[in-house]
Structure formats: C-alpha cells, structure tokens
Amino acid sequence: MPQQKTRIAPSILSSDFSKLGEEVRAIDEAGADYIHIDVMDGHFVPNLTFGAPVVKKIRPHTKKVFDVHLMIAPVDPLIADFVDAGSDIITAHVEAGPHIHRTLQAIKSHGVKAGVSLNPSTSIESIKHVMDMVDLILIMTVNPGFGGQSFIPLLDKIAAVRAMIDATGRTIDLQVDGGINDQTAKQCVEAGADLLVAGSYVFGGGPGEYANRIKALRG
C-alpha cells in the first residue's frame, strides 16, 4: 500500500530511566503515536537495556502502541515474555535468528504484529521472502546499540523498500530508526518512510519540548 501519514515513535532509550512511567505518560500526552522500546542484550548489540518485566511495568502508563524493538539473539525463546508484557508490535533483526521466517511466524502466532529490522549493511534481498508476513519493516540508519549516533543516509534503501511495500498491496509500516531529527526526518519521509523513531532528538530538550519536537518531526 502507498505511504501512510507520518507517525512518530519516540524511543524511551533516551528518557530518564529513573522515572520511566512518568516519561511514557509525558510522550503520550506530547503526541507520540507509538512508544518505541529498545531491548538490548549486550551480545547481539554492545549495550544492555532492560527486559520484559520493565515493559510490563510501564504498560499501565499508556494505551499507545508498544513498538518493541528486540536487539537480542537468539530472539525466539523470549517472544512469549514480551507478548505477555503487553507488546503490540515485536520487531526482530534478520541476523538475530537463526531463522527470521520462523521468528516472524512465532511472533504472529501470539496475535501481535510482526516487524523485521535491517541493519545498515543488511541487504533488502534478505526480506524478499517474508514480505507477506510482516506488518512493519525497520530500516536502521545507525548501527544498533546506542542512542545519539549520526544518521547514515540510506535514502536509496528506504526508497527501494517503499517500492517493495507498494508492490505487495498490503499495509506495512516503513519505519526508520537512528539519528532522526527535524532535518533527517524530512529526508526519510521524502524517500518513503511513514514511521519515524527518535530518541535523543525528542528527549534532548527536556519535557517542556517533547510536544514541539514531535510536531517538528511530523513536518
């Protein structure tokens, strides 16, 4: 299906973890469409965040979509825990495997939406045979693991995936994650993205700026 209207998914990776519930309520009120939740295992990516129990604790603080980005390997054994914690969308990396097709089947078998993520170096060919299964495709514009990195301008890749999505006739979110600010957001939307993740940009100005920054990303 064609590009949808631009939606914003602030990444709580850049929020104040000492008051996570409050931060989630604040970005909800500031106009976030999805809440982007980065789970890192210190193995698939060189950083650690939190697991399903933390996701479960913040679930009562908002009714917005929980967009859970799993940067863990192997991923299959933990899918059920993240479903129980209240995830609406679960995204796994092509490389988190060992078998992304099986992982997507497992996510969908729980009745939640399934996303697939491509690292900057991951070929778009790798998702050709799962296009009929996914609800979201996440294009990483930084190497996963940390907030605050510089945007890698993979605009041709975004445009190529846009064309792949349009050819399916299905509704699939085209999400971009990494180095998104008011400038790079515009480039990504022009290339075909319709769901933007932003961590350091949204949270960087403090709570008084959350709404303005989300609005600026929407363009």
Residues within the interface to Zn ion (CB under 5 A): 38, 69, 177
Of 38, 41, 135, 194, the active-site residue reads: 38
Which partner from the list Zn ion, ligand DX5, none does 179 bind, CB cut-off 5 to 8 Å by kind? ligand DX5
* Three-state SS sequence of the chain: CCCCCCEEEEEHHHCCHHHHHHHHHHHHHCCCCEEEEEEEECCCCCCECCCHHHHHHHHHHCCCEEEEEEECCCCHHHHHHHHHCCCCEEEEEHHHCCCHHHHHHHHHHCCCEEEEEECCCCCHHHHHHHCCCCCEEEEECCCCCCCCCCCCCCHHHHHHHHHHHHHHCCCCEEEEECCCCHHHHHHHHHHCCCEEEECHHHHCCCHHHHHHHHHHHHC
Tell me how far, at minimum, the Cβ of 100 lies from Zn ion, in Å: 17
To the query of whether residue 81 is one of the catalytic residues in this protein, the response is: no
Which partner from the list ligand DX5, Zn ion, none does 199 bind, CB cut-off 5 to 8 Å by kind? ligand DX5
Binding test (CB under 6 A) with ligand DX5, winner from 6, 122, 149, 212: 149
Residues 109-128 that bind ligand DX5 (CB under 6 A): none
Which partner from the list ligand DX5, Zn ion, none does 6 bind, CB cut-off 5 to 8 Å by kind? none
Residue ranges in contact with ligand DX5 by CB under 6 A = 11, 13-14, 36, 38, 69, 142, 144-145, 147-149, 177-180, 197-201
